[in-house]
């Protein structure tokens, strides 16, 4: 969020996920920050530390990077100072928003594309097409839900095909394997067994955030929706969504050079764990830090935790996103579908891409 309260005064805000609001009011004089005032509903000890924070930012060039802004604040603060509910990084984001270099959810018109049945290769191709278009400004930031036509495994961009997938199990169960553009782990999908969504955003939305900070930030609305469904969930760094009863989902991201960013999540609704273990090779090393001996125990379906249908859960998620961000419903255009189909032919449907890491 950024706006000018008068001709020269700039204002930016950032709410730390699970924390407090940090606001910054400032001016820019001769290309440098001036008359900086950091404020908000955070907690800070001692009181004088606020003067140090303001002094750290005063006079810095307006094009100072987020990392440099945070580092300047950290360097100026006494090591004994306690920041509760915010951080030097939160201050940096608020400054960047005041300057119009970072954006918040409220700065964009959001669109939602409801579940659309497509081949899994088309889904991963659309992720590339829509991320690119948001980066160029050809499409508004968008939330899109997936729907499956056939059983599939989607492997991460850097995973080994032979290490992740049992070809005999995949053949036996008619499972198609595709590789996506984002990193992370393999996902096993059948019709009705998972909830997957992709969010396409400009990178200005996560300006200055680390990867670890951007995951919970982009999924704050999901935690809200899950809470409405009676589920207390949280992020287990880096990219697992967990509850007291186990892992319910995982996230992955990809940032394009043109400024577009993909963030997507798959949540287990009603996974056939036996079939999954026949199709995926889930080794002991992957489980070594998870506190459980069985991958089967790790995948705790949303169906059991909520008692709701998959469609009801998706409806709650979409309505929560609409209410929070003023999102409007949208569809995939013929041009987007055409370009995604071309990408399936040239990339996502080819052995060259699928086996790029054998």
Residue pLDDT, tens place only, 267-315: 999 988 889 999 999 854 454 555 444 555 556 589 999 999 999 999 9
Whether 251 and 236 have beta carbons less than 8 Å apart is answered as: no
Q: Can you read off the two tokens belonging to residue 174?
A: 């008619």
Asked if residue 31 has pLDDT above 90, the reply is yes
pLDDT single digits (tens) 77-113: 999 999 999 999 999 999 999 999 999 999 999 999 9
Q: 85: exposed, middle or buried (C-beta count within 10 Å: 0-12, 13-18, 19+)? A: middle
Which pLDDT does position 245 carry in this prediction?
A: 86
Asked if residue 57 has pLDDT above 90, the reply is yes
Helix intervals (H) in the chain: 49-57, 66-76, 88-98, 120-136, 161-164, 167-172, 211-218, 220-228, 273-279, 284-287, 295-298, 302-306, 310-325, 334-343, 351-354
d(CA 147, CA 299) in angstroms, rounded, equals 20
Which residue's entry shows tokens 């940096």? 92
Helix intervals (H) in 137-206: 161-164, 167-172
pLDDT tier for residue 69 given thresholds of 50, 70 and 90: very high
Asked if residue 114 has pLDDT above 90, the reply is yes
Whether 188 and 153 have beta carbons less than 8 Å apart is answered as: yes
- Which candidate, 124, 99, 85, places its Cα nearest to that of 10? 99
The DSSP call for residue 269 is: S
Mean pLDDT score across all residues of the chain: 93
d(CA 214, CA 103) in angstroms, rounded, equals 13
Report the range of poorest mean pLDDT among 220-224, 231-235, 281-285. Answer: 281-285
Q: What is the strand order of the sheet 32-40 is part of?
A: 2-4, 10-15, 21-29, 32-40
3 state DSSP class of 216: helix
pLDDT single digits (tens) 145-198: 999 999 999 999 999 999 999 999 999 999 999 999 999 999 999 999 999 999
Q: In this structure, how many other beta carbons lie within 10 angstroms of the beta carbon of residue 171? A: 10
d(CA 20, CA 54) in angstroms, rounded, equals 18
Q: In this structure, how many other beta carbons lie within 10 angstroms of the beta carbon of residue 150? A: 13
| Mean pLDDT value across residues 320-328 | 98
Whether 152 and 120 have beta carbons less than 8 Å apart is answered as: yes
Which residue's entry shows tokens 């409220």? 106
3 state DSSP class of 183: coil
d(CA 156, CA 237) in angstroms, rounded, equals 18
């Amino acid at each position: 969020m950024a706006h000018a309260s008068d001709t020269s005064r700039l204002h930016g805000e950032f709410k730390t996920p699970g924390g407090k609001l940090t606001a910054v009011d400032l001016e820019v004089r001769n290309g440098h920050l001036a008359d900086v005032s950091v404020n908000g509903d955070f907690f800070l000890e001692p009181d004088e530390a606020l003067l140090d924070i303001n002094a750290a930012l005063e006079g810095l060039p307006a094009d100072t990077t987020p990392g440099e802004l945070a580092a300047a604040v950290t360097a100026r603060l006494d090591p004994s100072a306690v920041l509760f509910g915010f951080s030097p990084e939160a201050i940096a984001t608020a400054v960047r928003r005041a300057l119009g270099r970072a954006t918040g959810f409220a700065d964009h018109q959001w669109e939602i594309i409801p579940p659309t049945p497509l081949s899994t290769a088309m889904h991963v191709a659309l992720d590339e097409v829509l991320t690119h278009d948001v980066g160029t400004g050809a499409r508004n930031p968008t939330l899109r839900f997936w729907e499956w036509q056939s059983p599939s495994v989607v492997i991460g961009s850097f995973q080994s095909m032979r290490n992740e997938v049992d070809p005999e199990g995949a053949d036996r169960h008619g499972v198609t394997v595709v590789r996506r553009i984002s990193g992370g782990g393999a996902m096993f999908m059948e019709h009705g067994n998972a909830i997957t969504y992709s969010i396409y955003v400009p990178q200005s939305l996560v300006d200055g955030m680390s990867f670890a900070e951007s995951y919970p930030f982009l999924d704050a609305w999901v935690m809200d929706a899950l809470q409405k469904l009676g589920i207390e969930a949280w992020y287990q760094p880096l990219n697992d969504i967990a509850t007291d009863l186990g892992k319910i989902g995982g996230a992955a991201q990809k940032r394009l050079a043109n400024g577009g960013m993909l963030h997507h999540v798959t949540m287990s609704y009603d996974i056939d764990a036996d079939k999954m273990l026949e199709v995926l090779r889930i080794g002991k090393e992957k489980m070594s830090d998870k506190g459980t001996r069985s991958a089967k125990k790790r995948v705790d379906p949303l169906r059991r935790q909520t008692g709701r249908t998959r469609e009801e859960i998706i409806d709650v998620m979409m309505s929560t996103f609409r209410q929070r961000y003023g999102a409007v419903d949208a569809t995939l255009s013929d041009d987007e579908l055409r370009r995604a189909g071309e990408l399936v032919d040239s990339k996502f449907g080819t052995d060259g891409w699928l086996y790029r890491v054998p």
